[in-house]
Amino acid sequence: MKPVKVITFGEILLRLSPELSQHTAAIYVGGAEANVAAALANWGTDVAYISKVPENGLSRDVLQQLSHLGIHTDRMLWGGERIGIYYLAQGSDLKHAEVVYDRAWSAFSRITPGTVNWEALLGDAEWFHWSAITPALNPDAVDICREILQAASRKGLIISTDLNYRSKLWQYGKKPVDVMPELVQYCDVVMGNIWAANNMLDTTLDTVALDTNTKAVYLEQAEKVAAEITQRFPRCKRIAFTFRFSDAPTHNRYYAFYYHAGQVSISREYDTHDVVDRVGSGDCFMAGLIHAQLAGLDDQQIISYAAAAAYSKFFVKGDFNTTSAEDIIKLI
């Protein structure tokens, strides 16, 4: 295996964006953790991606796409029957586009606990990233997350997670709050938003105050939630929350919050009416946090880079962000 700084872990997916009136469908390689890896590779961070794919030509074509982006795939698991798919109709109304999953019985979802030497696959990496999407799949996936998080902890890796909630997952009798607190205890960096934290970690949220719908209240709540997370999960030292608002199909208002050692940093606020593709912006934000922290930037620089990276993704079609680090810095 080639040495890398960062390893991301999650399900590789194919995204189909049909335009049925035109009898066409765009196909993109994606998946939250693959999106993170793609952004990091694009910015020159050595990164590997671990997923599981069946032994067939389509899988090899998918991995070739990842390798072309600079993502190392030599830690990939092989076996199973299929790669998961999701459909996202991408006509003019991006805001209300519906996601339809077709990922049951995918190769990744059938990984069996106790069958993988995670410590060997992690090698000498510095950072391990996973997301809340994986334990949303099934009970075995929860066990797999626990195994690899414990292995990463034993090896001393920095561990990050994204509290990305997918309402159409979590269909096996467990709620996120039943599963996520145990897994988040292994994390050094947590990103998401204040609503996802409430949903997954049962953090306190003043819904009455939030009804005022003001930036000041949102940021005040963010600081309280971040402080609660660091108190409940002593290992977690850095919290990042995003705020995204849209009042039209191609509109987005965006800013981000960062909490570290009791100090708060806020990104600039972005606003656009020219959104091309919202998919992957949160993943690009996560990649920005990782890239900037590994580069030794200070807290303000970290959140500024991450927010600018996420904003830049709105203008790139497909799951992966191809915006250069130089162009992202220009947006800060």
Those residues with Cβ within 8 angstroms of residue 330's Cβ, 6 or more apart along the chain or in another chain: none
Task: Give yes or no for a contact between 332 and 268, defined as CB atoms under 8 angstroms apart.
Answer: yes
Residue 128 lies in a domain: yes
pLDDT tens, residue order, the chain (332 aa): 999 999 999 999 999 988 888 898 889 999 999 999 999 999 999 999 999 999 999 999 999 999 999 999 999 999 999 999 999 876 434 444 678 899 999 999 999 999 999 999 999 999 999 999 999 999 999 999 999 999 999 999 999 999 999 888 999 999 999 999 999 999 999 999 999 999 999 999 999 889 999 999 999 999 999 999 999 999 999 999 999 999 888 899 999 999 999 999 999 999 999 999 888 999 999 999 999 999 999 999 999 999 999 999 999 998 999 999 999 999 99
Buried residues in 250-278 as b, exposed as e (16+ CB within 10 A) = bebebbbbbbbeeebbbbeebeeeebebb
- Rounded to whole angstroms, the Cα distance separating 154 from 38 reads 27
Token pair belonging to 300: 């303000």
34-72: buried (b, 16+ CB within 10 Å) or exposed (e) per residue? bbbbbbbbbbebbbbbbbbbeeeeebeebbebbeebbbb
Give the burial string for 77-110 (b: 16+ CB within 10 Å, else e).
Answer: eeebebbbebbbbbeeebeebeeeeebeebbbbb
Q: What is the CATH number of the domain that holds 56?
A: 3.40.1190.20
In which domain, by residue range, is 121 found?
6-331
Per the domain annotation, does 161 fall within a domain?
Answer: yes
Q: Is residue 1 part of a domain?
A: no
Of 231, 222, 314, 229, the C-alpha closest to 265 is: 222
User: Is 130 within the bounds of a domain?
Assistant: yes
Q: How many degrees, rounded to 5, is the angle at CA 57 between CA 55 and CA 62?
A: 95
pTM over 0.75? The answer is yes
Residue 88, domain member (yes or no)? yes
Within-domain flag for 251: yes
Please state the domain count of the chain: 1
